[in-house]
Amino acid sequence: MDYLKTQGVDALNGTIKISGAKNASLPLIAMTILAKNSVKIKNLPQVADIKTLLKLLSNLGAECTFLNESVEVDTSNIKETKATYDIVKTMRASILVLGPLLSRFGHCEVSLPGGCAIGQRPIDLHLKALEQMGAEITIQAGYVQATAPNGLKGCNIIFDKITVTGTANIVMAAALADGTTTITNAAREPEVVQLCEVLNKSGVKIDGIGTAILTIEGTNAELIEIDEFAIIPDRIEAGTYLCAGAITKSELTLTNVEPKHLGAVLAKLEEMGCSFTSTSDTITIHPTQEIKPVKIVTQEYPAFPTDMQAQFLALATQANGVSIIEERLFENRFMHVSELQRMGANITLNGHTATVNGKTKLSGTDVMATDLRASSALVLAALVAEGETDIHRIYHLDRGYDSLEKKLEGVGAKIQRLKE
């Protein structure tokens, strides 16, 4: 098993190229199930979750061919419609194949996501919406068994709460449905927007893209032709490296980035004293000599993203004053706090709120990654900690960051990947 050995640095300097967005890639890969042609996807990040979903499609009968940062996916020979537990258990986003498989074939079996059982990150909203569209759904032996004997029918769907994967799943299901589907309270994340834009260019008429109300005109089971496209830049990866510049008080330039997707993140960094120079596809962070405390509440896009909460919590340990970070979306997303405390952070938890008392001196030690974004928070803390920090269980990190240690090493970080 790999781990990262990191030493604190005085400053970083240089340029980091941002990879394609993992969270945009996953629904777009699942979308290829709706295509009648081989689809080329460019700017694909080389991360574990992408490989897992492509393996799932291969098991269903698709042909997946890698070409550097691109992949060609041909789903024309898919015969199998069962997404088995051994793959789905490693990645909750595998549930994204449910909508397109059901819409195309009229039946499918998809394992419940590992550790979910329609619990903390429920798929009940997905299932309820599919039932409204005419699907018959049962859950047996840990599998969602779905059939649509008369095909899926367009209807009006109102999500009780915003769900990114739920929106993506139902958009894909509606693409081949008979009639018009309206989704109210749809997610507005850039990753959902790109899915809708690609489908729209492929002949599925979608109105309201980027708003909370989407209207999708289905093709009545006719497969679509999808031209090649490139994945949008990863706004969470970009935000993480901006935090690396902020916490080390360094000037860093990010390329292949979409500044307009980072509005809430940039606003909070400005509150903390940083400034920026941007072009249409670059951002340069100019550091502050004194990091100011901040108050953050995680909410759905375009508000502050939950996927940046851990990184800002690490940054807040170096702010001069008390920062308050409230997590409103996921109840178990403060697992990194105990590891940061091991490094000397002064953090108090009260339910869904973390109070960070800064500035604290951090010391290198052995820490353990508990989830994807927690991993990057530990890396950020290690950049300013005194001595060496060994970060274990970085397979979490590899799920969503493409060559993180190489990118940081390229701007001056003392970080290396080693074997346990």
Output 59-62 pairs: Cβ under 8 A, ≥24 positions apart.
Answer: 59/83, 59/84, 59/87, 60/97, 60/101, 62/32, 62/33
136: helix, strand or coil: strand
- C-alpha to C-alpha distance for 63 and 188, rounded to whole angstroms: 31
Does residue 233 have a cis bond before it (omega within 30 degrees)? no
229: how many CB neighbours lie within 10 A of its CB? 17
Instruction: Answer for the pair 354, 318: CB distance below 8 angstroms, yes or no.
Output: no
Catalytic residue, chosen from 64, 108, 116, 155, is 116
Q: Is 64 a catalytic residue?
A: no
Let me know: does 133 contact 148? Beta carbons within 8 Å: yes
Residue 178 gets which letter from DSSP?
B
3-state secondary structure of 266: helix
Task: Return the SS3 of 54.
Answer: helix
Q: 94 and 49 in contact (C-beta within 8 Å)?
A: no
- Cβ of 213: how many Cβ atoms within 10 Å? 12
Measure the CA–CA gap between 97 and 191, rounded to whole angstroms: 16
Q: Is the peptide bond before 359 cis (omega within 30 degrees of 0)?
A: yes
Residues with a known catalytic role? 116
